[in-house]
């Protein structure tokens, strides 16, 4: 069996569904609880069981109450407690057959086999025709998917987000940058759109040959800091966490644990970032997204702002 990796889902022996949120899953699986059985739930699986979605804060409360030994930066599920592993790329044909809009997106992106899948509620069998499509693109196919998205929008196969939907995304993210600045950065990422009015995004996950990925470990906190630096490597800028290798006298890399600042800058660009400095071995890293809403933390491309200014 292939390794459990970021954006897979797992179901535990009690029927709870978790989104895999880490790459270091050798002895336990780093994840976040997303769906639990509930007789009054508004989601129904393929055999009639009802579920409801669990928001971030409640998920951590439930794990602390029922599985305190799983508590950490993410929920650490022991392998013996896992009943099933759901992989987006392995289930894409079934999902596309069930949901015509997914099938349309698959045709529009036209990616190589095993390089695209769908995660979230659709992967768990808990979605509906109106559910957002959480696309997953693996490894180097991600850059190809971005180009295919541009082509598909030009051809009219899929649509760009309208202004109202962009405002909804901004409100949901609630970032520490202005709406105009947010839009400027987001539109060039080429990872969102609509297919027949249904929202979708494209999420990066490492190919198996790029593993092992980032190890989820907190370093010694040194304090808050704002820096400016040049990005030297953006290979994993769309990963989770997003990783920006930088040229800076003290800080060797910037990590973003919030989706808002994924793909925020490219190699060669000058950026400004504010976050928490952590010590990792003999390196210092600037971490953005140390809290759920990442208040007082951000990444912005000064190069982009200057070009558009």
Same domain for 36 and 115? no
Same domain for 174 and 104? yes
In a domain, residue 133? The reply is yes
Q: Of 53, 86, 119, which residue constitutes the final position of a domain?
A: 86
**CA-to-CA separations, 137 to 82, 94, 116, in angstroms, rounded:** 25, 17, 5
Take residue 224 and report the two structure tokens written for it: 């808050």
Same domain for 96 and 77? no
Determine the pLDDT at residue 213: 81
In a domain, residue 1? The reply is no
| Between 294 and 219, the higher pLDDT residue | 219
In a domain, residue 3? The reply is no
Number of independent structural domains in the chain: 3
Residues 49-78: tens digit of each pLDDT: 999 999 999 999 999 999 999 998 899 999
Residues 140-189: tens digit of each pLDDT: 999 999 999 999 999 999 999 999 999 999 998 899 899 999 999 999 99
According to DSSP, the residues that pair with 278 across neighbouring strands are 221, 285
Among 196-205, 256-265, 286-295, name the one with the lowest average pLDDT. 286-295
Which CATH number fits the domain that encloses residue 271? Answer: 2.40.50.140
Residues 67-110: tens digit of each pLDDT: 999 998 899 999 999 999 999 999 999 999 999 999 999 999 99
Confidence of residue 283 (pLDDT cuts 50, 70, 90): very high
Determine the pLDDT at residue 290: 78
Which CATH number fits the domain that encloses residue 186? Answer: 3.30.460
Q: Of 153, 184, 208, which residue constitutes the final position of a domain?
A: 208
Determine the pLDDT at residue 74: 93
| Predicted TM-score (pTM) above 0.85 | yes
Same domain for 255 and 270? yes
Average pLDDT along the chain: 95
What's the DSSP call for residue 4? Answer: P
Provide DSSP, 222-267: EEEEEEEEEEEE-TTTTSSSEEEEEE-SSEEEEEE-SGGGTT---T
In a domain, residue 2? The reply is no
Structural domain boundaries enclosing 111: 92-208
In a domain, residue 177? The reply is yes
Residues 178-225: tens digit of each pLDDT: 999 999 999 999 999 999 999 999 999 999 999 988 888 889 999 999
Same domain for 125 and 153? yes
In a domain, residue 269? The reply is yes
Same domain for 80 and 128? no
Q: Of 66, 86, 106, which residue constitutes the final position of a domain?
A: 86
In a domain, residue 214? The reply is no
């Amino acid at each position: 069996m292939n390794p459990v990796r970021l954006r897979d889902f797992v179901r535990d022996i009690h029927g709870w569904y978790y989104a895999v949120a880490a790459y270091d899953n050798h002895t336990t699986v780093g994840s976040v609880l997303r769906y639990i059985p509930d007789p009054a739930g508004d989601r129904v699986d393929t055999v009639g069981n009802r579920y409801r979605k669990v928001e971030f804060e409640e998920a951590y409360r439930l794990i602390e109450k029922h599985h305190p030994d799983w508590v950490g930066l993410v929920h650490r599920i022991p392998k013996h407690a896992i009943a099933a592993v759901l992989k987006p790329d392995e289930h894409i044909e079934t999902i596309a057959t069930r949901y015509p809009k997914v099938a349309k997106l698959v045709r529009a992106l036209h990616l190589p086999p095993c390089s695209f899948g769908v995660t979230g509620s659709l992967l768990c069998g808990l979605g509906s025709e109106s559910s957002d499509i959480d696309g997953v693109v693996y490894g180097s196919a991600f850059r190809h998917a971005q180009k295919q998205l541009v082509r598909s929008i030009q051809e009219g196969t899929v649509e760009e987000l309208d202004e109202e939907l962009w405002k909804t995304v901004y409100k949901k993210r609630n970032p520490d940058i202005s709406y105009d600045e947010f839009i400027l950065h987001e539109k060039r990422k080429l990872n969102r759109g609509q297919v027949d009015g249904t929202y979708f995004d494209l999420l990066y996950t490492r190919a198996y040959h790029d593993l092992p990925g980032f190890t989820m470990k907190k370093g010694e906190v040194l304090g808050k800091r704002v820096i400016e630096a040049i990005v030297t490597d953006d290979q994993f800028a769309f990963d989770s966490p997003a990783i920006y290798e930088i040229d800076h006298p003290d800080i060797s890399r910037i990590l973003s644990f919030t989706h808002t600042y994924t793909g925020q800058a490219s190699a060669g660009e000058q950026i400004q970032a504010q976050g928490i400095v952590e010590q990792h071995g003999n390196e210092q890293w600037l971490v953005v997204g140390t809290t759920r809403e990442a208040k007082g933390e951000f990444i912005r491309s000064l190069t982009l702002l200057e070009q558009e200014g």
